[in-house]
A and B are shown apart, each in its own frame.
Chain A
């Protein structure tokens, strides 16, 4: 009993966001397989719970994990409201909580025990806002899914883009469950911008891409740019050649050319057939790393506060590149890459061609 170290992983395993849960869980398990399940003399145990996408369920699960299972760390959280719902539990019970997937800026401010191993949308969006004007894109229409992350992406991209002298002609928001993108894309086409900036949840990316091509928008001289969610590595291969040439900004690509990443990808694919690790997976993987290292540092002694202290300020090499857990904001500071979809060995990849170093979450700086 005393010798176990429990991690409560709250993830969406069914429903719309199921693939997020799948990636994070697979990566977390991979990390444990690679690094063993005994750390500082403690046996690490992973308890996975399906939050079904409901914050109240997630909150109850978190509460039960803390009270009944006595977990040492909470982690996971596929959606912003879920992370926010769990935050008070983390505070009350002094349990460190690691957001491995959700990407709104505000999450880490909701509790002093909340850290992040994923990314924030502003990080990615701002990078694109810097890159685009320098590369011949002067006017843009934004098209984002109408929910938290989408609104964040729109806001931060547009601000930075206009600051750099670009012009946002129109801001479109599409409902989350939108069956047909035709009217929005037609509107974009009629507005004739240099590029279309897209943020939609990963599943819908393919649909947008297809209809973008079908509408002949590339031929009309409109480029497609966005944050990395649109060209999700997990889906990319299925999107077909239409995706070629799409430029996105993101913190992780499966094709990231580092030895560490190569091993990560190879091991991941070996353990999970038909799955490519995407940015969700790397969030889960690094989250586990943070927990393991904190456990080593504290030698299994001390409670949540000790763990938290050991988590803050970690600097390490991730499959995505160098990262730092900012001790002050508990948020992640990382490199953001600009990538272009290219074909290699008959498969599509997000190939990185530019990098903006050590990007802090811009949401915090204001």
Chain B
């Protein structure tokens, strides 16, 4: 059972009259490449919000590495290795990508509260930030204010930030939305190439990517868990086709 890194049991989330998450149970294995799919408004983002502590569930329990984190503050979950990206970019607009990444790396190498030495005084921090900038092709805009970057670059930064947090469990909410077709695979390959013991949960509507990435899939519909299984089973599940995948060949 220690194989399960993250497990959510019986999660319920209500917004007023709307039940966005209805008794969802989800287990994430160590090293998994797990995809979470479902129609729009099925509650995928809500589920991520619950797992990361942005929202507190109405009912249910969340366990990370054997420890109950249902009531743990969001930033402490990050400290325990659970990191996410956002469906809609959440960036530090007045900073440059370089500063952003240096900050995130500092925070994770334990010097985030240091106040007497300048940011970047640690060589390790500067090097790691530079490495990430190069990796995500942000080096040429490293000194521009984030608010002036083109959408695609902002998206890359969004993901770079998450990776800078050295995640053990990574939750990706439509990471490649807005990234051009040619670069999507590459981006996901970067993610797939994370160490084998890092677990990834991916939300994505681009089925080509999802099927090439995932080794396991969960389908959420209307806040409820519809089914879970390996990619082949899901691809051929008539229920999933009916509510989500469709039958046409819009996506080849």
**Within 8 Å by CB, do A and B touch in the complex?**
no
Chain A residues proximal to chain B, CB less than 8 Å: none
Chain B residues proximal to chain A, CB less than 8 Å: none
